[in-house]
Structures are given as structure tokens and as C-alpha cells.
Amino acid sequence: MSLDFGAKSDEKWRHVSLSTSHGSYQKDDQAHLVGHAMTAPLAAYIPGQTGLSDADQDALTDLYIRGTPANTLRAYERDLIYLTAWKAAAFAAPLNWPEGEAVALRFIIDHSRDLTEADPQDPALTAADALITQGLRKSHACPAPSTLDRRIASWRAFHRMKNLASPFDAPLVRQARAKARRAAAKPKAPKSANPITREVLEAVLATCDHSLRGLRDRAILMLGWASGGRRRSEIAGLMRQDIDLKDYAKDGIIWINLVETKTTQSGKTPKLVLKGRAAQALAFWVEMGDINDGPLFRPITRNDDPLERALSPDGIYQIVQKRVTQAGFPKGFATPHGLRSGFLTQAALDGAPIQAAMRLSLHRSLAQAQQYYDDVEITENPATDLLG
């Protein structure tokens, strides 16, 4: 059995082929997921309403692609592959549009329990084995609630793209999801085991020598921390034209123009400022690396020469991990998100107003940013000394 999702208008998105009979899937680069999710005629699901023309369908597909962050599109890709494979393994059938409530309920039940000790004849175990064979599932353990939430969110998004009601909005299915979330509730693991506070950052920066690689890594670490705790995808996505040096010679200030972030829309992201040592490190990297256009941060060859292509977000991850370990901290001590959490933690330690810190971190939620301040402020709470 083969399920083919064809691309329509965007050359960036290619064909996905899932072969359930062979227990494997093949993927050429990225799938045209938005196109697949939207190409079925709307008239087939909305009686009496005229379907979109091919030109309108192409335009709408292109609009979804351009208006959706790249990371979200990649998540859609992974989730569509997983959902299609699961439906084939559990029901020997392709996804339906709209999907049935019974299928949605079964999906929640199958992914809300540990199958390690399940009966060998359990259908959920059989489906899980098929997914493990295809490399889409790691083990029989209960998936993380956040993973299940994301896949359900993607499934619902695919229904919205077709202008269809989602089965996950049915009362019984919603109640089952709520119960499953509560049953699997556990403390949320931080994205970084430890925040990279100023003291930690100084130790990490000390590992950066005067080679081109060292200059690059120092600029990455300082920009990532001092500009508000940038995400690794934001650092990797910076281009030379996003860095404005017009005020550097006079005031020692560098302006950073992020196109968009996880919490801001394209063209509506406020300018960020880099000052002091961080600005110096970035300006020195631009000069010594001869970065006149193109990607700001790039891989470095063994001969200490920068390549033309950009560093990937995973490359940023590897750099942070390597430098943290070289600084003498245990393996896994901190990830790139430690730059973000460390910036906010240090702001709280230094008594900076949370609104000022959020102006740089671009947190959309005050409650989320407040968590870092709460961890610091509780140690200064007089009520913690009542027993002396």
C-alpha cells in the first residue's frame, strides 16, 4: 500500500512516499505538506459550496507556506509522516478528511499509556512496533504529553486548512485528552539543565582563542546572551544585512534586525541592541571573517577559513555543548537555551526590571518570563527565614 502526497506550486516542497507494505518510508528533502493538506476540493466536504479553482488553491497554498514559520512547517512534515504511518498500522487505511472521532480517540488512548508490559496481542503494541520498525517511534514507553499535544495540534491544523471540523473538538475526545494529560502530568523538564549566567558565560568565553573559529564562537555566545537570550534558530538565521554597524564607530552600538522570532511576526520584530564587549566581539568577527554579505555565522574549515553557507541551528547547539564542556562543566550541563534562561536569570539577580529584560528577550508572556525572576526572588523572601 502506498500513500503519495503530491506537491503543487512551491519548488521548496517535494514529494513524500510512505510505503506501509515494506514497513518503511522515504522522504525527498521536505514534503509539500500544506499543499497536501489543502488540495482536496472543499465542495466534497461542504455541500452546496463551490470548490476553489486551481489558481485560487495554489495561491492559498502559497499563502499558508509563506505565512507559516519554517520550524512549524518542518513540524507539520514530521507529524504528517507519523500520523499517516500510524493510521496505516492501526487501521490499514489512509487518513480521512475529516477524520472520524473513533480514530482520534484511539490515537489518544494508544499514545497515553506505557506499552512496555502490554499484551503481545494488544493492537496498540502492534501499531507501535510498526512505527519503531520505520524509525518513527523510539520505544514502547508512553510518549511525552508535549509530543502528543504537538501531533494533535498539527492534525487539527490540517483540518483547518481544509475548512473542516476537527474530531479532536468533540466533547468525548476533548475529555479523553484532558484525562490523559492529567494522568501523565509530571514536572516540565527545562530546555537547558542549567542557565548560563554571567559567571558561567565568562568561563565558557575563556575557552575561545584568537583563531577564526574562536572569534566566531565568542561572537555567537556573546550575541546570543547579551541581545536578550536568542534562540539557536534565530542566531543561525542571521544575515550580514541584519547587523547594522552605522553607530558602532561613534557609540559602540550594533543594531540587530531580526526578521521574525517564535513570538513575533515577520517585519514586526523590534530592533535589538548590542553594546560593550558583545558589540566588540561581533564587530571583530565581521572584520576578521571578512563577512560582507550572506550568512553572519558560518562553518569554519580545518584551515580556519569560513565557508559560504550558514551554520545550522544544530551547529549552534554543538558549539555551545563543546565550549561548555571545555570550560570544565559536566557534559549536558547546558544547551543553547541556557543563554536565554541565563540572560533572564542574571537580569533578575542584578535587579533589572522584568519589563526591561523582556524588551530584549521578546518574551510574549509575562508569566513565562516571571518564572526566572521567581526562582531568584524567592531566596530573598523574608518568609523563608521565619524559623531563623
pLDDT of 62: 82
Flag whether pLDDT at 10 surpasses 60. no
* Residue pair 16/23 in contact by the 8 Å Cβ criterion: no
| Residue 87 or 32, more confident | 87
Give the pLDDT mean for 271-299. Answer: 92
pLDDT of 310 over the 80 cut:
yes
- DSSP-assigned beta bridge partners for residue 273: 255
**Cβ distance 343 to 229 under 8 Å?**
yes
Burial class of residue 9, CB neighbours in 10 A (0-12, 13-18, 19+): middle
- pLDDT higher at 275 or 367: 275
The torsion angles phi and psi of 133, rounded to 5 degrees, stand at -60, -35
Least confident of 132-146, 254-268, 357-371: 254-268
Average pLDDT for 154-164: 88
* Strand-strand pairing, 16-19 and 24-27: antiparallel
pLDDT attached to residue 383: 66
297: confidence class by pLDDT, cuts 50, 70, 90 = very high
Rounded to the nearest integer, the mean pLDDT of the chain is: 80
Is the distance from CB of 376 to CB of 361 less than 8 angstroms?
no
pLDDT for residue 378: 65
Per-residue pLDDT, 208: 94
Q: How far is 96 from 146, CA to CA, in rounded Å?
A: 24
The pLDDT confidence band at residue 371, using thresholds 50, 70 and 90, is confident
Eight-class DSSP state of 295: B
When pLDDT is averaged across residues 349-356 and rounded to a whole number, the result is 85
The mean per-residue pLDDT over the stretch 286-311 comes to 92
Q: Is the pLDDT of residue 330 over 50?
A: yes
CB 132 within 8 A of CB 116: no
With bands split at pLDDT 50, 70 and 90, how would you rate the model's confidence at 298? Answer: very high
Query: Which pLDDT score, from 0 to 100, does residue 379 have?
Result: 65
- For residue 375, the model assigns a pLDDT of 67
Q: What proportion of the chain, given as a percentage, has pLDDT over 70?
A: 79
**How is residue 249 written as a grid cell?**
564607530
pLDDT for 23 beyond 70: no
Average pLDDT over residues 354-369: 82
Return the CA Rg of the chain: 24
Task: Give CA torsion, residues 48, 54, 55, 58, to 10 deg.
Answer: 110
Q: Report pLDDT for 188.
A: 63
DSSP class of residue 191 equals: S
For residue 100, give the C-alpha cell. 472520524
Q: Which three cell numbers stand for residue 118?
A: 502490554
Predicted model pTM: 0.60
* Residue 201 banded pLDDT, cuts 50, 70, 90: very high
42 band by pLDDT with thresholds 50, 70 and 90: very low
Residues 201, 163: Cα–Cα separation, whole Å: 49
pLDDT of residue 368: 77
Locate the domains of the chain by residue range. 2-183, 198-382
> What is the structure's pLDDT at 18?
34
For residues 328 and 81, give the distance between their C-alpha atoms in angstroms, rounded to a whole number.
41
The grid cell for 150 is 504537538
- What does the block give as the cell for 130? 510498526
Range from 84-98, 180-194, 246-260 that averages highest in pLDDT: 84-98
Mean of the pLDDT values across residues 329-350?
89
Calculate mean pLDDT across residues 189-201. 84
CATH number, span 198-382: 1.10.443.10
Element (H, E) at 103: helix 101-110
What gap in Å lies between CA 165 and CA 37, rounded to an integer?
A: 14
Query: What pLDDT does 145 receive?
Result: 84
Q: Where are the alpha helices (DSSP H) in the chain?
A: 33-38, 54-66, 70-91, 101-110, 123-133, 145-161, 171-183, 198-205, 212-226, 232-236, 248-251, 276-288, 313-326, 337-349, 354-361, 366-377
Give the confidence band of 264 by pLDDT, cuts at 50, 70, 90: low
For the residues 108-131, what does the mean pLDDT come to?
A: 90
- State residue 25's pLDDT score: 36
Cell of 225: 546572551
What's the half-sphere exposure (Cβ side, CA atoms, 13 Å) at 40? 17
